Structure 1
């Protein structure tokens, strides 16, 4: 963390096909070893499958899925007087979106299935229906924050 000033927030350009910043964020998190064209291919084929299966706009479905997986609170470890407390803290919207994307993609990678396209498609559809591993992860974080609500006074 910088000591002098906080760096300026960089804004992503929207993706070329759907003109959505969220899709571009997902592509950047999906990409491994700088292979962005492969990540674009995976996400676009997944979006075609979503459109075929659900008969809905895939961008809106993905936005809904990410919104469902976004946490409202998280816990942060704080040392007070020699003991460590898990303090619940409200999540900034940008960080919440980043966490949701990270959880969705990690649950895609852990899912059993043939290829990444089908795993991405199924995870986005599950998250839009409020089921799946990313939603379970969000619920665990919320439960942990609820259990440690007494330590909210150590928030700064």
Structure 2
């Protein structure tokens, strides 16, 4: 972490098909080993499958899934007098979105089955219905923050 100044926030370009920065963020999170065209193919295939099932805009379902999977509280480690405490902190909106995307894609990769696009589709649908592993991960983080509520006075 730099001591000089805060890092500038990068501007993410919009997705060419959906004209959405959210879609670009998802594609960048799916990205492995620099293969962006493959990540785009996976994302568009997933969105097409969601479109076929719900007959609605798949970005709305994705937004709902992200809203359901994004945590409001998390714990940060703080060292005081040789002891490390987990201090609960509120999550900003950008970080919440980023964490939700991370949870959804991570849990989709862990799912059983064939094809990442179908696994990602199922995880997004589950998260939009407030079920699924990504939502469980969010609730687990909330439980940890709730358990360490006593240390909330040790703010950063």
**TM-score of the pair, normalised by structure 1:** 0.97
**CA RMSD, Structure 1 to Structure 2 (Å):** 0.8
Which runs of structure 2 are paired with 1:77-96 in the superposition (5 Å)? Answer: 77-96=77-96
Deviation of the 1:94 alpha carbon:
1.0
Q: Which residue in the other structure is 2:128 paired with?
A: 128
Q: Which residue in the other structure is 1:106 paired with?
A: 106
Deviation of the 1:66 alpha carbon:
0.7
Q: 3-state DSSP class of the match of 1:154?
A: coil
Deviation of the 1:80 alpha carbon:
1.3
Q: Which residue in the other structure is 1:46 paired with?
A: 46
Whole-angstrom CA distance in 1 between matches of 2:138 and 2:103: 9
Deviation of the 1:54 alpha carbon:
1.5
Q: Which residue in the other structure is 2:30 paired with?
A: 30
Whole-angstrom CA distance in 1 between matches of 2:82 and 2:33: 41
- 1:55-75 deviation per Cα after TM superposition (whole angstroms, max 9, x unaligned): 221011001101111111100
Deviation of the 1:78 alpha carbon:
1.1
Whole-angstrom CA distance in 2 between matches of 1:90 and 1:149: 12
| Gap runs ≥5 in structure 1 | none
| Gap runs ≥5 in structure 2 | none
Deviation of the 1:84 alpha carbon:
1.6
Match status 1:71 vs 2:71: yes
Deviation of the 1:77 alpha carbon:
1.3
- 1:29-72 deviation per Cα after TM superposition (whole angstroms, max 9, x unaligned): 10111110111111001101001112221011001101111111
- 1:92-151 deviation per Cα after TM superposition (whole angstroms, max 9, x unaligned): 111111111011000000000111111011001000000011100000000110111110
Runs in 1 of length 4+ with deviation above 6 angstroms?
none
Q: Number of residues paired by the alignment?
A: 156
